[in-house]
Amino acid sequence: MNLEHANHRAWKKPLQLSIGLMALGLVAAIIGYFVDGHVHFVSSWLTYSVFFLGMGLAATFFIAVHTIAHGGWQVAFLRVPEALMIFVFPAGVILLLSLLDIHTLYHWSHEELINPDSEYYDPLIAHKSKWLNVPFFSFRSVTYIVLWMIFAYWLRNLSQKLDETGNLRYWQRIQFVSGLFLAVFAVTSTLAAFDWVMSTDPHWYSTLFGWYLFAVVWVSMIAVIVLWVLWLRKHGINPHIRDEHLHDLGKYMFGFSIFWAYLWYSQYMLHWYANIPEETAWHLLRFKEHRILFYLIIVLNFAIPFFALMSRSAKRKPWVLTFVAFSILTGHVLEMWLLVQPSVYHAHYLDHWTFSIVDLGVLSFMAGLFIFVTMRSLRRAPIVPEKHPYFKESLTYKT
């Protein structure tokens, strides 16, 4: 295998950045534990482990869906989503560790809420207890993550064998595994969104929440791909990346930002129109106590990508793509905070808190680890899959 790119001097800066973010983040998270308290500390780990795990899972979906569709345009930078996919391993472990403190994170996990003789008995939570109970929840969580790890390892291993041998038998296996993964993903990703995020408020429900959370991590993952592709191209590590690739990635950010907005509006509008207390209470908590953040998320995740990427030329300009990618990532990081943490502090009858040092610390640590794992994976395989059957198409297609 050709690994000459692994020794490129440009890798030094992201390595330093990743180590710095992890070190500073860990220190800030520890300080935040004593400043902001145990509940805020644990909920921050849940928030960002779900977010980064979701991006790793979305990268696996990116590979699988383009494989099944026989897409060829993305092959020139295929190593980037493959590298992001590997993050399901560390993020999955971190998430499972955070779930060990299940009684802090999930109100429904307390036994007295489903005991009819208890003064704290909650008939709605008791009704859901066949699904929302600690043993079954723990089993499901482990199952989701183990399945995703298996598929990530399987797809990566087959891709490496295809690189080494050029035998199309491995390409056929990749297609089979991709189809199998998509079937598993359709069920597990939705149930995981219900379990890990939606159930932080067990009285609230939304049938499209699985799709909604998928849109959050999917468009965030596209933004991360854009940043890595631009960096690899800028430093000459992957000279095969062309304006056509940037254009299509720009279209992805543009299109799926609209898709996210469509789901956001659909969920909010239907709950507002129906005006059912169990549905509207979730939105009111976030709107009343975090109104600025509520509107800021719409600007960062929809307005900026929509207007900045509307023209064809904008989708080919690296500085525009970089700006929009950071806008999307910032917006969805804040959105993940808003999805999880108000429900947690409200369940503990705590005064509402805002984005603070513990959130910044956990986010910095996870981002640093994300960069480190991605960079390490990129350096351990050829930067382009030259023996992929659609490699030549990726170099010559027009858009």
pLDDT tens, 124-165? 999 999 999 999 999 999 999 999 999 999 999 999 999 989
Task: Decide: 138 and 199 in contact? Cβ < 8 Å.
Answer: no
Report the pLDDT value the prediction gives residue 356, as an integer from 0 to 100. 87
Task: Decide: 103 and 110 in contact? Cβ < 8 Å.
Answer: yes
- Classify residue 330 as exposed, middle or buried by CB count within 10 Å of its CB (0-12, 13-18, 19+): middle
Report the pLDDT value the prediction gives residue 3, as an integer from 0 to 100. 73
**Token pair in block for residue 133:** 């109970």
The Cα–Cα gap between 213 and 222 comes to: 14
Report the pLDDT value the prediction gives residue 355, as an integer from 0 to 100. 81
Residue type, 362: V
Q: What value does the CA radius of gyration of the chain take, rounded to a whole number of Å? A: 21
Task: Decide: 204 and 198 in contact? Cβ < 8 Å.
Answer: yes
Report the pLDDT value the prediction gives residue 289, as an integer from 0 to 100. 87
Residue whose structure tokens are 């930078």: 77
Q: CB count, 10 Å around CB of 100?
A: 11
Residue type, 249: L
What is the domain partition of the chain in residue ranges?
4-396
At residue 201, φ and ψ (nearest 5 deg) are -125, 90
The Cα–Cα gap between 304 and 307 comes to: 6
Report the pLDDT value the prediction gives residue 345, as an integer from 0 to 100. 86
Nearest to 47 by CA among 274, 353, 313: 353
The Cα–Cα gap between 94 and 245 comes to: 33
Residue whose structure tokens are 């499209």: 208
Query: Which secondary structure element, helix H or strand E, spans residue 171, and what is its range?
Result: helix 168-196
3-state secondary structure at position 222: helix
Q: CB count, 10 Å around CB of 313?
A: 8
Report the pLDDT value the prediction gives residue 2, as an integer from 0 to 100. 64
Whole-model pTM: value is 0.95
Ranges in the chain, pLDDT < 70: 1-2, 349, 351-353
